[in-house]
Structure 1
Amino acid sequence: MNKSVVKFIIGRILRIEAVLMIAPLIVSFIYKEDRVYQFSFLIVMAVLVLISYLLCRGEVDKRQMYAKEGFIIVSLSWIILSFFGSLPFVISGDIPSFVDAFFETSSGFTTTGSSILTDVEALAHSMLFWRSFTHLVGGMGVLVFALAVMPQTGSESVHIMKAEVPGPVFGKVVAKLSASARILYMIYLSMAAVMVVLLLFGGMSFFDALLHAFGTAGTGGFGVRNGSILAYDSTYIDVVLSVGMILFGINFNLYYFILIGRIKEAFSSEELRWYFAIIGSAILFICLNIYTTYESIGIMVRDVFFSVSSIITTTGFSTVNFGEWPLFSRMILLSLMFFGGMAGSTAGGLKISRIALLIKSASAEFKRMSQPNRIVVIKYEKKTIEQDALRSVVNYLLVYIVIFIALVLIISLDFNDFESAFSSIVATFNNIGPGLGVVGPMGGYSGLSDWSKILLSFVMIAGRLEIFPIIILFSSRTWRR
């Protein structure tokens, strides 16, 4: 393994994190906060710069970088960024427990939105900003951001982007990787800026609009009020966020196609059709199931639309306690937690493309069984799917299921009911945030033991990176020459 290039790139990533902390530092000065907050960021920034300097020293062999190095760089970067990103919370005293701070920061960077905070409004403005800013940075990917801003990123960097960008298939929008990263981030940030403007029209303060745009763009879901979005009591804001969450759950490559005039190609995406069909079906079935519990059809549709948008995009904002809905509706939402958004989006979950391929594969197998001599060709996005691609999707699902079951068994030691234990893994492994039961939208993760919080922190990172980078990182074979 090429350890020199691993150290070098991680050093550069830490330097970028130091630069990112300038933003909350400025917020601290704007709101004239106590010096302890400014000190919290300054000391961490100094440590990051020092470690970065030490890691980037010496000769670097950039020529030998393969998939293994890419996986290690990505997984190590997310863990280390979460570690150092949690320190301002601890130093300032806003989250005095390091375990709690690490959980909160991991949840932020992975855009999960799970929280240990019972009174989020007690945080200083700079800490609230940093907490939500991690959503914006982590949404498109920390390493994708690094590739967009770091100079001299060679073709080997594709291994980093493949390891970090979620979904079964990785595709560049243009030939040069760094240019692809910049284009994706420009689209991403432009859409986030539009969200800020729209939320301002809804009566939000600029600070609240900015942080909710961060959460929507990264499909993370950290709120700045104790009642989440419900605290604003605005149909306009609910609709804007609902539509925004759905848009950020779409593959960003499709937005690039629209920008360059390939509109027909963008809207003919099969995954996009699956995505909207699942959303529409979920809204319809839940509305039919709960309409007797609502006096107003309009309010019901608004709540269901928002909840479905929030869950399938793994954002985690809430306007209603869907844990009190009938079991049928809760089961639909639980299914959406597994589905997630489209590949190449900021959403988590298994991804719509994998679900579609699994359904097509099962359908093809049924046809073969009923007509043994029939040759069945599986097509997706107008392309014939090779057996290797299908095998990769099935293998991922098998690994996902095995690890998921193991995690539920382990976390059950800290819960008294199955619904809470099961949904806590669903919510963190798929980067959603709120689950059901005690970890539902009106609950949280503050009551868990420290070991459960540490476990779930790594579960969030593993889910965001789609398992394999973390497995490779902790494999003994990885570190053998």
Structure 2
Amino acid sequence: MIHFKAIGKIMGALLMLFSLLMFPGVGFALYHGSDDLMALSISVGVSFLTGFGLFSTFSKQDQNIRKREGYLIVSLSWFLMSIFGMLPYILSGAVESIPDAIFETVSGLTTTGATILTDIEGTAPGILFWRSMTQWIGGLGIIVLTVAIFPLLGIGGIELFVAEAPGPTSDKLHPRISETAKRLWMVYIGLTFLLGIIYFLQGMSLFDAVNHCLTTMATGGFSTRSDSMAYFSPFIQYTSIIFMFLAGTNFTIIYFGLKGKFNRVWASDEFKAYLISVIALVFLLVWPVWYYSGEGFEKAFRDSLFQIIALITTTGYVTADYTAYHSGLTLVFFMFLFLGASAGSTSGGIKFIRHLTFFKNSWLEFKRIVHPRAVVPLKINGDRVTGKIVTHIMNFLLIYLMIFVLGSIIISLLGYDILTSFGAVATSLGNVGPAIGRVGPMDNFAFFDPTAKVFLSFLMLLGRLELFTILVLFTPYFWRAN
């Protein structure tokens, strides 16, 4: 039996915290004297009061949650955040329709970065800040934050952390899960603050610096400029490259690096694969980009490095139109939408650890064919990977591919060309932002009809929550009583 009252209590706490994170937008609106002040204030009030009502109503309920409650809370929390998170857009008039508001909110919370806004510079400052904040909230996951806060409320959170943490594994830095969450958020907040200072010192306005440090560390890609990072200087772009790469790194690896435990950093097979892949891809692509772009070598190198990291980490910033080089290069950049950076990072996508496991297991399969009696274990980071984990990863990859194909068919049946359908589904499922077709790096998603926008929003949530967290809710086993 699912404890719905306990779920109601936790959802109330989540919603109150969500409203508090919405509040700084009121300050920006007040400072700039913009007309979105009332919309943001009402949104904060409605969100907090609703959360307080839920929490106080069920405050005496048993706080212990099991795996089923954990998955249900995570899925429902993202649904609730999407509903209440779109209020500022609707009430301010920045977005005219509910499907558009849902799309923009879900794109922010899932750190996808796809947008329906056509006049970024003309959007009110408070709304732009809230737009960036949604990505920062979704970056490491509000559930991980609440796992750190919940012990103060007498609520356990291990099942929430397992359901929310990005990637197939969630390494602990401390035996207590709340301490792990706190340390991850300390790294996240610290890097965000540091990046904001660097952006400001490099010439960004304070408003631009605040917004871009939020969306860079979240690997989100929302910008206060229609030209994205192309608007800013090469020095700022190089800084963005460094921090996008860090944001795409497992945060436990960053933590060990900050503690001086570099042996733990280099012991990670996923980090080595991530780093070597980026270096190799830049070396291979800089030459054709230089040739087809007609730009100087430094510009070609910077654009190649920037777009490779922006797509692999699913940040989605752009400095150049990679679809304008050559059809072959367009296909290569499209394939990056299926990579994803590291598990335990703020990036979306499939993640390197899954690709690494797949290729290692496939390579070992040839050895097993030649030596059928031999025991050939698969090892990652020196540890043996169990058959259960391998099966889970293989199933994930297959289901991911099936959803991509089915989703592309659905979008094409709604009347869109095949390249646009492939691009929209791949970038939504991978939480990237730009893609190919009519959703290339210089385009947006405003032209999609309401049905397509809602469907793509669902795909963003599927990708952000690693498929199974949501899909398990559609199985009869989940709802069957114990």
**Band of TM-score, shorter chain:** over 0.9
- Provide the TM-score with structure 2 as the length reference: 0.96
Range with greater deviation from structure 2 (147-156 or 264-273): 147-156
What residue number does 1:332 align with?
A: 332
Provide the rounded CA distance (Å) in 1 between the counterparts of 2:166 and 2:357.
16
Number of aligned pairs?
477
- Counting only pairs closer than 5 Å after superposition, residues 302-451 of structure 1 correspond to structure 2 as 302-451=302-451
What amino acid does structure 1 have at the position aligned with 2:281?
A: A
Work out whether residues 87 and 98 of structure 1, in 8 Å CA contact, stay in contact via their aligned partners in 2: no
Cα distance in 2 for partners of 1:272, 1:146 equals: 27
Q: In the TM superposition, what is the alpha-carbon distance from 1:272 to its structure 2 partner?
A: 0.8
Query: 2:254 matched to which residue of 1?
Result: 255
C-alpha deviation, 1:112, in angstroms: 0.4
Look up the match of 1:11.
12
- With 47-56 and 438-447 compared, the bigger mean Cα shift is at 47-56
State the alpha-carbon separation in 1 of the partners of residues 400 and 141 from structure 2. 21
Tell me what 2:63 maps to. 62
- Tell me what 2:465 maps to: 465
Query: Which residues in structure 2 correspond to 1:222-301 (within 5 Å)?
Result: 222-232=222-232, 234-293=233-292, 294-301=294-301
Counterpart contact for 2:246–2:254, Cα < 8 Å: no
Give 3-state SS (helix, strand or coil) of 2:121's partner: helix
Query: In 1, Cα distance between the equivalents of 2:9 and 2:138?
Result: 21
Give the C-alpha shift of residue 213 in structure 1: 0.7
Distance 1:383 1:74 in 2: 30
Would the aligned equivalents of 1:289 and 1:328 in 2 still touch at CA under 8 Å? no
- Asked if structure 1 preserves the Cα contact closer than 8 Å seen for 2:150 and 2:157, the reply is no
User: What is the DSSP-based 3-state SS (H/G/I as helix, E as strand, rest coil) of the residue aligned with 1:121?
Assistant: coil
- Structure 1: distance between partners of 2:161 and 2:153: 11
Indicate whether 1:27 and 2:28 are aligned. Answer: yes
Give the CA deviation at 1:257. Answer: 1.4
- Cα root mean square deviation, aligned: 1.5
1:258/1:153 Cα in 2 relative to 1: closer, same or farther (>3 Å)? farther
Check 1:262–1:41 CA distance in 2 against 1; reply closer, same or farther (3 A cut): same
Deviation track 1:411-431 (CA, whole Å, cap 9, x = no partner) reads 112344221110111101000
Q: Which moved more, 1:139-148 or 1:125-134?
A: 139-148
Q: Distance in 2 between matches of 1:154 and 1:31?
A: 40
Over residues 34-77 of structure 1, what are the superposed CA-to-partner deviations in whole Å (9 max), with x where a residue is unaligned? 3xx222122222222332233221331223x2111111100110
Q: Tell me the alpha carbon deviations over residues 336-376 of structure 1, each in whole angstroms, 9 at most, x when there is no partner.
A: 21110100000011100000000001001111113333331
Distance 1:379 1:478 in 2: 32
CA deviation after TM superposition for structure 1 residue 31, in Å = 0.8
Of residues 80-89 and 363-372 in structure 1, the stretch that sits farther from structure 2 once superposed is: 363-372
Asked whether the 8 Å contact 1:66–1:156 carries over to 2, the reply is no
Compute the displacement of 1:152 (Å). Answer: 3.8
Aligned residue number for residue 158 of structure 2: 158
CA distance in 2, matches of 1:92, 1:320: 32
Would you say the 8 A contact 1:271–1:353 is kept in 2? Answer: yes
Q: How many Å separate the matches in 1 of 2:201 and 2:471?
A: 45
- What is the CA-CA distance between 1:477 and the residue it aligns to? 4.8
Tell me if the contact between 1:338 and 1:426 (Cα under 8 Å) persists in the aligned partners. Answer: yes
1:480–1:48 Cα change, 3 Å: farther
Structure 2 vs 1, CA of residues 45 and 231 (structure 1 numbering), >3 Å: closer, same or farther?
same
Contact 1:192 1:213 in 2 (8 A): yes
Q: Take 2:126 and 2:356, find their aligned partners in 1: how far apart are those partners? A: 42
> 1:290 is aligned with what amino acid?
V
Give the match for residue 44 of structure 2.
Answer: 45
Offset, 1:331: 2.5
CA contact (8 A) 1:412 1:418 kept: yes
Residues of 2 paired with 1:155 and 1:16: CA distance? 14
Structure 2 CA distance for aligned equivalents of residues 381 and 223 of structure 1: 37
Deviations, residues 368-425 of structure 1 (Å, cap 9, x unaligned): 1133333312111011111111111111112212222211111112344221110111
Q: Given that residues 200 and 209 in structure 1 are in contact (C-alpha distance below 8 angstroms), is that contact kept between their aligned partners in structure 2?
A: yes
Mapped partners of 1:415, 1:278: distance in 2: 37
Task: State yes or no: 1:138 paired with 2:174.
Answer: no
- AA partner of residue 330 (structure 2): R
One-letter amino acid matched to 1:193: F
Determine the C-alpha separation between the residues in 2 that align with 1:477 and 1:368. Answer: 35
Query: What displacement does 1:268 show?
Result: 2.5
Give yes or no for contact 1:72–1:472 (8 Å, CA) kept in 2: no
SS at structure 1 position matched to 2:157: helix
C-alpha contact (below 8 Å) 2:143/2:161 kept by paired residues: yes
CA distance in 1, matches of 2:468, 2:334: 24
CA distance in structure 1 between the aligned counterparts of 2:476 and 2:227, rounded to whole angstroms: 45
Deviation per residue, 1:208-250 (Å, 9 max, x gap): 0111111100000001111111122x11011111111011100
Matched residues in 1 for 2:52 and 2:395: separation?
40
Listed one character per residue, the Cα deviations across residues 273-302 of structure 1 (whole Å, up to 9, x for unaligned) are 100111112212212323322341111001
User: Which stretch shifts more, 329-338 or 135-144?
Assistant: 329-338
Q: Secondary structure at the match of 1:274?
A: helix
How far, CA to CA, are the matches of 1:131 and 1:8 in structure 2? 27
Range with greater deviation from structure 2 (304-313 or 148-157): 148-157
Deviation (angstroms), 1:155: 8.4
Counterpart of 2:288, as a letter, is N
Q: Distance in 2 between matches of 1:228 and 1:307?
A: 12
Deviates more, 1:260-269 or 1:379-388: 260-269
- Equivalence for 1:2: 3
Amino acid in structure 2 at the alignment position of 1:211: N
Q: Given the superposition, is the C-alpha separation of residues 116 and 51 from structure 1 closer, same or farther in structure 2, using an over 3 Å criterion?
A: same
Contact kept? 2:435, 2:441, Cα under 8 Å: yes
